[in-house]
């Protein structure tokens, strides 16, 4: 158990819908990351937050948005869903959000868009 929790574990929805994925980091970690894992794209970095502020952005679609709240949990919002958004979404956390940090991954949320 990494100490990072993600809810829900599975999510099945229809095209055009909007969903919210939630992540709670390990106790003491200030930085949260979101990654997408799909068969065709592999593991892709989406976005990083540090203590409530966005620190880095990857190839995150405009239909996707995220935030980190004062209690440090984070939410990833996916809207106008398309079939191609079906993937495993991981949240990770680390202490300082730096290059040398170890990132601890949650169990992931499997999103299926029908």
Partner 1 sequence: AQSVTQLGSHVSVSEGALVLLRCNYSSSVPPYLFWYVQYPNQGLQLLLKYTSAATLVKGINGFEAEFKKSETSFHLTKPSAHMSDAAEYFCAVSRAGNTGKLIFGQGTTLQVKP
Contacting residues toward partner 1, per CB under 8 A: 2, 4, 31, 33, 35, 42-45, 48, 55-56, 58, 90, 92, 94, 96-108
Smallest gap from Cβ 27 to partner 1, in A, equals: 17
Residue nearer to partner 1 on the CB measure, 81 or 91: 91
Q: What is the DSSP letter of 1?
A: -
1 versus 71: smaller Cβ distance to partner 1: 1
- Alpha-carbon distance 24 to 68, whole Å? 10
**Min separation Cβ 16 and partner 1, Å:** 28
C-beta closer to partner 1: residue 87 or 92: 92
Residue 26: name the closest of 48, 3, 5, 6 by CA: 3
Nearer to partner 1, 12 or 43 (CB): 43
Min dist CB 13 to partner 1, Å, is 20
Question: Minimal distance in Å, beta carbon 62 to partner 1?
Answer: 19
3-class SS at 85? helix
Strands 31-38 and 87-94: antiparallel
Nearest to 64 by CA among 94, 21, 25: 21
């Amino acid at each position: 158990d990494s100490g990072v929790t993600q809810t829900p574990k599975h999510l099945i929805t229809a095209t055009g819908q909007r969903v919210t994925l939630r992540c709670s980091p390990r106790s003491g970690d200030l930085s949260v990351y979101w990654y997408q894992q799909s068969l065709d794209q592999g593991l892709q970095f989406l976005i990083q937050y540090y203590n409530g502020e966005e620190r880095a952005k990857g190839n995150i679609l405009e239909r996707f948005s995220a935030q980190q709240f004062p209690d440090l949990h984070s939410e990833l919002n996916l809207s106008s869903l398309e079939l191609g958004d079906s993937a495993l979404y991981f949240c990770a956390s680390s202490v300082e959000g730096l290059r040398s940090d170890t990132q601890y991954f949650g169990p992931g949320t499997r999103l299926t868009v029908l």
